[in-house]
Copies of this chain bind each other. A is one copy, B any other.
Amino acid sequence: MGSKAERVQEAVREAIVEYQELNDSNVQVVGEEPSPLEFMRLVALNRPCLIKKGARNWTAVRKWNSKYLSNVMRDEEVEVAVSPLGNADAPVKTENGDYWFVKPLDKTINFVAAVEHIKMEEASAEQGPHVQYCQSQNDNMRNEYSPLLDDIPRDIPWARIALEKTPDAINFWLGHSKSTTSLHKDNYENVYVQVVGSKTFTILPPVETACVNEQMLPTATYVEDSEGRLVPTLDDDPSPRPFPLWDPDQPEENASPLSKYARPIVVTLEPGDMFYLPSMWWHKVAQKCGEEGICVAVNYWYDMNFNGSLYSLEKMAQGVSWALFQEEGDQRREHGEKQEL
């Protein structure tokens, strides 16, 4: 039978495998927006859904290009996230082998300059030292980007009616193919709309939490040194926070004992596609540009329900994973040393 901890790990593995047996290995694709009831069924299942061309008639989808955006936004200052490799909000291995959770350097610049920088970076063969990504994730559509707000719906009617709430945030995303968003999860029901270019989501259901190898990482931020290089620098309060070390695109590295049982689902959004990503799903996001060298999207975050069984059962799964697999400080360093990136 093995030790109790071994039996617990085996129970977690069995639930993961059973989930995979009971569920499609693909995202469901539909051709029309759901009714509130149909959407609520997806929320109840906590299953993603791609609504192919669901936003085809949005003004944003029909009109947005670099000229239009630059014209409407010409007087606006916007926040850009700057990181050396396009890896904002990501675990980064430090010289001594430790991983830190490193946030981007936030800069405020004129929107037109941001678009031009992004197009320039996309066009250049090498990786520039400063990848910029407009991704402030703070309801920026209703703030910095409000001149563009009339081009999109104020909310998603079927989501508002089903969930009985308006979106907590509407976010504008503008980047290029060198920016990625590393594997993480959000406590939101996410309706994501691709406008220009494409995005590829690599996603894992909450039941696969034990596969992502969340470790406690000190928090840091990229800071520009005197030569303009971006250097990860521990925050004043670097209190560690849990973050996945495992990357579905490098599955052999930084694996937990259960990572090999993960079955990531990959889904690509083209312009006009709407994607429902349910709360608490792990997602890694990569992007490709349209002809003009930009990738643009908008998403709506609806607060998830924290009452009910799902949230607490997922917290249990996460807590059990931490208890099984989280390493103490010393082990973590050792682990880092063993597994060079």
Contact = CB atoms under 8 A, between A and B. Distances in A.
Interface of A: 1, 3-5, 7-8, 10-12, 14-16, 18-19, 22-24, 36-37, 40-41, 43-47, 161-162, 164, 205-207, 278, 280, 305-317, 319-320, 322-324, 328
Interface of chain A, helix or strand or loop or mixed? helix
Oligomer: number of copies: 2
Contact of A316 (B1, B11, B309): B11
Most buried by B among A1, A3, A36, A41: A41
6 contacts: A8-B8, A11-B323, A19-B309, A36-B37, A46-B308, A320-B320
A47 B311 CA distance: 12
B319 A14 contact: yes
Contacts of A16: 312, 316
Given A8-B323, A15-B315, A316-B320, 20 more contacts: A4-B324, A8-B320, A8-B324, A11-B316, A12-B320, A15-B316, A16-B312, A19-B309, A19-B312, A22-B307, A22-B311, A37-B40, A40-B40, A40-B44, A44-B44, A45-B310, A207-B312, A207-B316, A280-B309, A313-B317
A316 B206 CA distance: 11
A205 B313 CA distance: 10
A3 B6 CA distance: 12
